[in-house]
Structure 1
């Protein structure tokens, strides 16, 4: 079997000059501490994950520099999805600082926290995304359900930009709801340059009482729409610890997937992420 890849994890360190204000609420207290590569290594070893991809938390290129150093010191970090200012005329200049580092594999913006729900389709931001398309640097779509209709717009405007929907766009799993999500999710999947991360689901479920059964309809829908060749496993560690351990999250996806073929399993747990992020 090819190396198992976790396509979505984070690190943070509160002594760094970064903005972790999103962790301030009382519900975030369980993860309001440092999470570094030494904390993740035993977690991935316990379930047999070989390599991981760090995904940005900051709108600050200094985080790119910090995590690239961590990746240089920790071989299991296969790549980092960093940040550049898509709305800035300096977007391309920023990207070129990082693009040739073999561990710099993508870009993300915390779109769902922007006050403007249409931020990601603003002309200046589309111009930034065109820079990513020009240089073939993939983009992570961090959406709530209310933003998901933009995926079709982006995919048609930027047909050569590989994009991946993080966390299935956070459907209302706790409520068992699909009605506000399904049509736009299916529509996004019609575009071959759009992929999906099977990640971030437990924190959309009931944190205390979720079971793999709660996740099953959403995973099945993702596989039906995108196929294994455009779906990839992600833990969303350490955010997932609000609702479950690394091991629980990994085993829940294995449980939900059930008896699938070796080829399907290889795609979801390795090959899709390797191809999408062009991992070395």
Structure 2
């Protein structure tokens, strides 16, 4: 099977500046490290690179660096400071001139609620849509999930991908959280009513307290499936960010959980593992 991992990070602190790196992630993650993580995995696969929050003025350099690496990267999601409004137009034009740039991301999870609904941010997002760029929304909490819904309503022409199922609280392998508790599942169902929104099946290991398990994640995956349907779910690894303790073993463990869940639910594996991402990001089918 050909797999398209729709959310792969790569970074090298010797090449670009990443002020957020710390702990186990504060080192290089490039082709050699990825090769180790994929050892023993026989499927053919390619990747969509997700910007790794290098210094903002290095956004174009980040795309160029990853494009130079010997990896099957089919698309790039680059950083764009959409809150700059009309001032981001030149940057978006430069990104669009780079082969393979299919989307942009401005991390929202650390911003106050309402950040993505300011007039300038809406204008920047409108310009991104005019360039045919998808917006990846990485948020946390019910307030920010409501903001994503409002953004989708304000700009129906903007294709939005919700990263990591909105980062729900998943508990631990020993004490899984209940997705029906609190407002996460309600927010996910509300978001799914917007036709310009899809959801990435990714990131849950990063929300776990250490070790993780299929039983811990499957109830959350089931909520996403019920809400979005299999045709609006995209598989991704979020490597290595979701696996700070063991980036080598984590990749395969997460993918096995997702693939076994897909098989047990009778889902079209090719759609979730590849073709949905091709459609959403406008990539040629393989």
Superposition TM-score, scaled by structure 1 size: 0.90
SS of residue paired to 1:176:
coil
> Is 1:183 matched with 2:190?
no
Cα RMSD for the two superposed structures: 1.9
Match of 2:146 among 121, 132, 149: 149
Give how far 1:67 is off.
Answer: 3.2
Aligned match of 2:275: 271
Give how far 1:49 is off.
Answer: 4.7
Given that 1:61 and 1:83 are in contact with CA atoms closer than 8 Å, whether structure 2 keeps it comes out as: no
Give how far 1:43 is off.
Answer: 2.9
Given that 1:168 and 1:199 are in contact with CA atoms closer than 8 Å, whether structure 2 keeps it comes out as: yes
Distance in 1, Cα, partners of 2:271 & 2:222: 15
SS of residue paired to 1:50:
strand
Given that 1:138 and 1:277 are in contact with CA atoms closer than 8 Å, whether structure 2 keeps it comes out as: yes
Structure 2, unmatched stretches of 5+, are: none
Larger deviation: 63-72 or 189-198? 63-72
**Cα deviation code 1:112-149 (max 9, x no counterpart):** 112x2221111110110010121221000000023101
Distance in 1, Cα, partners of 2:265 & 2:64: 35
Alpha-carbon spacing, 1:192–1:207, altered in 2? closer, same or farther (3 Å): same
Aligned match of 2:231: 229
> Is 1:7 matched with 2:1?
no
Alpha-carbon spacing, 1:19–1:193, altered in 2? closer, same or farther (3 Å): same
Normalized per residue, which structure has more helix? Answer: 1
Larger deviation: 37-46 or 50-59? 37-46
- 1:255-266 alignment to 2 at 5 Å? 255-261=260-266, 264-266=268-270
Aligned match of 2:83: 87
Alpha-carbon spacing, 1:137–1:148, altered in 2? closer, same or farther (3 Å): same
> Is 1:253 matched with 2:240?
no
Aligned match of 1:199: 202
Given that 2:10 and 2:66 are in contact with CA atoms closer than 8 Å, whether structure 1 keeps it comes out as: no
Distance in 2, Cα, partners of 1:188 & 1:87: 22
Give how far 1:63 is off.
Answer: 3.4
Distance in 2, Cα, partners of 1:227 & 1:70: 32
Distance in 2, Cα, partners of 1:270 & 1:232: 7
- 1:113-124 alignment to 2 at 5 Å? 113-114=110-111, 116-124=112-120
Give how far 1:75 is off.
Answer: 4.4
Give how far 1:199 is off.
Answer: 0.3
Q: How many positions carry a matched residue from both structures?
A: 271
Distance in 2, Cα, partners of 1:181 & 1:232: 19
Structure 1, unmatched stretches of 5+, are: none
SS of residue paired to 2:109:
helix
Larger deviation: 80-89 or 33-42? 33-42
Distance in 2, Cα, partners of 1:171 & 1:142: 12
Match of 1:23 among 9, 21, 24: 21
Superposition TM-score, scaled by structure 2 size: 0.88
Give how far 1:166 is off.
Answer: 0.3
